[in-house]
Amino acid sequence: MKPETYTPKLLTVFREGYSAATFRADAIAGLTVAIVALPLAMALGIASGASPDKGLITAVVAGFLISALGGSRVQVGGPTGAFVVVIFNVIANHGYDGLLVATLLAGLILILAGVLRFGQMIKYIPHPVVTGFTAGIAVIIASSQVKDFLGLAIDRVPADFIPKWQAYLGALQSASWAAIGVGVGALAMIIGLRKLAPRLPGFLIAVVVSAFVVALLKLPVETVGSRFPDMPAGLPIPTLPDVSLAKITAVLPSAFTIAFLAGIEALLSAVVADGMAGTRHRSNQELIGQGVANLGSALFGGLPATGAIARTATNIRSGAKTPVAGMMHAVFLLLFILFGTDLMAYVPMAALAAILFMVAWGMSEYQRFLALLRMPNSDRAVLLLTFGLTVLVDLTVAIAVGVTLASLLFMARMAETVEVDGSAMRDADLDAEDLDQRDDLPPGVEVFRITGPFFFGVAGELLDTLRRVGQSPRVIILRMRLVPLLDASGAQALEEFVEQARLAGAQIILSGVQPQPRSMLDRVGLGETSAKLSHAVDYARAQSLAVELIEKS
C-alpha cells in the first residue's frame, strides 16, 4: 500500500508549493460555486423536511471538511438530492435527533470503509442500478415540490408516492395562481439563462428576482420567512445529540443507507472530476474525508453530505486548482450565514420548488435512462425494477434487489458463454492474440488486451488504464477477441473511454470483437458503422489500420 493512500490531497498540494496566483484562482472558483450552492442548499434543506438554515450549515461545515480532508483535488461537497428521500423518512419516523444520530453513524461507517480500503467497491455497482435509483430519486424530489410550486393548501403531504399524488389531485382546486406564476417565472428564468448565458448563476438570479417581484407586488405567496418564522442566524455551537442504544438500533439501517449513498455519489463525483481536470483521486481517503465531514455536520446540527457532481463540475470550469477552492466556497457561505440570513425570509417557496425541479431533471439522466432501455432484457429489467422500487417502495430495498438481480443475471449470462470442447488445442489457436502484442508495434500506437467478461465489476479498470498511460498516444488498439461478454456498465465504460481518448487526440480501434459484445456496441452507437472509432477483424488488421490512421492524421 502506498503511503499517500491515506493522505488528504490538500497536504499533497501544500507540499508541491502553493502560490498567491493559485489562491486567487481558487478563491474566484470558490466564490462562483458558493453563488450556485447558496439557493441550492436552502432548497435541499427544505425538501428534506428540515429548514433552509440546516442546508446552509451542511454546506459550510461538511463542504469545508470534504475539501480539506478528502482525496480529490477539486471535489466540492454539501447536501445533495440523493439524500432527500432518506432524510425526509428518518425525520418523519425518528425526529431530527434521530437524523443526527444516523448521520453520526454514517460518518463512522464511511471512515471505517475508507480504512478497510473499500474505496474501489463502487465499481461493483452495476450501471443500470445506479441509473435506476438516481432516476427514481429524481422523480420523488420533483413530486415533493408540486405542493409549493402550485401553492396547494395541504396541511400534511403524505410521504408515500401514490398517496402523495392522490392528495395533490384532491387539492387542485386550492391552487394559487400567484404561486404558479412565481414558480413558472423562476423556472423560465433558470432554463433561459442556461441556454442564453450559461455562465451566469441562474439559480441565484431566479431566487433574487422572484423575491423582489413578490415583495414589490405584495403577492399572496408563501415565503421562507412565513414558513420558518423563527429561523436562527449564524452557526450553532457543536453539540452531541441524544444517543441511546435504542435510538442507534432504530436508525442503523438508515445510517447504512446514508453511508452507501454518500460513498457512491462522492466517488462518482471524484471520477467525473478526474475526467474533467485530468487528476487522480484517492478513493479510500475520499471516504475518510466524507466520514469526518458527516460527523462534523451532525455535531453542528446539519444534514448528511457528500460530493456534489454539479457543484464540482462548476468548480472545475471556474478554474479551481486545489482543494482550497472547495474550502473557500464554504467560507463564502459562512459569511452569508453570519451577515445575510435575514434575506432568506423573502425567498418564495415556489421559486425554490422551481430550483428543485431543475435539480431533479439533472439527476434523472434521462438520456442514459433511455439508452439503457435499448439494452438487452436483463439490463432493462434491472433498470426498471430498481427505478420502480425506489419510487414506490424504498431506496434501500431498491439497491439491494437491483444489485442481487444484476449479479444473478450476470452469472446466468456467464454460464451461457461457457463452451465445453473435448478436442485438443491446435497450434492454429495460438495466433497473434496469444503472442507478444508489442512486436512490430508502430510508433505512436498503444495497445491493450482485455481478457474475460467486461462487466460492471471491471469496467472502471479501462478508464484507470487510460489515465496511467502518461503521454497520450495517437492511436489506441483494444484487443477484444478474448471478451465473451459485455454488459451495460462495460459498454458505458467503453463510451467514456472513447470520449476521453478523443479529447486527448487519440483514435480507438477495436479488434476481434465477438458477437455478444458486438451487439451491445451496436446498441450504444459504437458498432462497425460508428464514426467515433474503428473496427478490425483481428490484431494484424488493427496494426495496419493504425498505420493508415497515423499517416492520415
Q: For 461-510, how does the pLDDT look when each residue is reduced to its tens digit (9 = 90+)?
A: 666 666 665 556 888 888 888 888 888 878 887 887 788 777 778 889 99
Per the CB < 8 A criterion, the answer to whether 373 and 383 are in contact is: yes
Cα–Cα separations (whole angstroms), residue 65 to 23, 215, 327? 18, 37, 8
Report the number of secondary-structure helices (H) and strands (E) in the chain. Answer: 22, 6
Q: Is the pLDDT of residue 1 over 50?
A: no
Q: What does the pLDDT average to over 98-112? A: 96
- In this structure, the number of other CB atoms found within 10 A of the CB of residue 139 comes to 17
pTM (2 decimals)?
Answer: 0.76
441 pLDDT above the threshold of 80: no
What is the reported pLDDT for 528?
A: 87
- What long-range pairs does 361-364 form, CB within 8 A, spacing at least 24? 361/138, 361/142, 362/138, 362/310, 363/81, 363/82, 363/134, 363/135, 363/137, 363/138, 363/141, 364/134, 364/135, 364/138, 364/139
CA distances from 254 to 141, 157, 329, 497 (A): 18, 22, 29, 35
Average pLDDT over residues 212-241: 90
DSSP 8-state assignment for residue 471: S
pLDDT tens figures, 189-218: 999 999 999 888 889 999 999 999 999 999
Round to whole Å and give the CA distance between 76 and 329. Answer: 8
Residue 374 confidence (pLDDT)? 85
Provide the pLDDT for residue 426.
41
pLDDT computed for residue 376 by the predictor? 81
Helix (H, G, I), strand (E, B) or coil at 509: strand
Average the pLDDT over 222-232 and give the result.
Answer: 88
Phi first, then psi: what are they for 529, rounded to 5°?
-90, 0
Closest among 178, 171, 71 to 114, alpha carbons compared: 71
Q: Is 73 exposed, middle or buried (0-12, 13-18, 19+ CB in 10 A)?
A: buried
Query: What DSSP character marks residue 439?
Result: T
Of 42, 31, 355, nearest to 203 by C-alpha is 355
Residue with cell 477484444: 480
Looking at residue 72, its pLDDT comes to 92
> Over 70: is that where the pLDDT of 416 sits?
no
pLDDT in tens, 302-325: 999 999 888 998 899 888 999 999
**456-472: pLDDT as tens digits:** 656 556 666 666 655 56
In this prediction, residues 90-109 reach a mean pLDDT of 95
| Confidence at residue 56, expressed as pLDDT on a 0 to 100 scale | 94
Give 512-529 pLDDT, tens digit per residue.
999 989 988 988 888 888
The pLDDT value recorded for residue 4 is 62
Strand order in the sheet with 534-536: 445-449, 475-479, 507-511, 534-536
Query: Residue 3 pLDDT more than 60?
Result: no
Instruction: Give all strands (DSSP E) within 345-458, no chain letters.
Output: 445-449
Burial 195-214 (b: 16+ CB within 10 A, else e): eeeeeebbbbbbbbebbebb
Mean per-residue pLDDT of the chain: 86
Q: Indicate the residue type of 318.
A: S
- Flag whether pLDDT at 119 surpasses 60: yes
DSSP-assigned letter for residue 504: T
Q: How many CA atoms lie within 13 A of 173 on its CB side?
A: 1
State the Cα–Cα distance between residues 244 and 316, nearest whole angstrom.
42
In the chain, the percentage of residues whose pLDDT exceeds 70 is: 90
428 pLDDT higher than 70: no
| Mean pLDDT, residues 358-384 | 87
> Per-residue pLDDT tens for 141-195?
899 899 999 999 998 888 788 999 999 999 999 999 999 999 999 999 999 999 9
C-alpha cell at 182: 412565481
Instruction: Give the pLDDT of residue 430.
Output: 45
How far apart (Å, rounded) are the C-alpha atoms in residues 90 and 82?
Answer: 14
Is the pLDDT at 97 greater than 90? The verdict is: yes
> Can you tell me the distance from the alpha carbon of 256 to that of 261, in angstroms, rounded to the nearest whole number?
9
Structure confidence at residue 287 as a pLDDT band (50, 70, 90): very high
Nearest to 467 by CA among 496, 489, 445: 496
pLDDT at residue 445 in the model: 85
Q: If you average pLDDT over residues 380-389, what whole number do you get?
A: 92
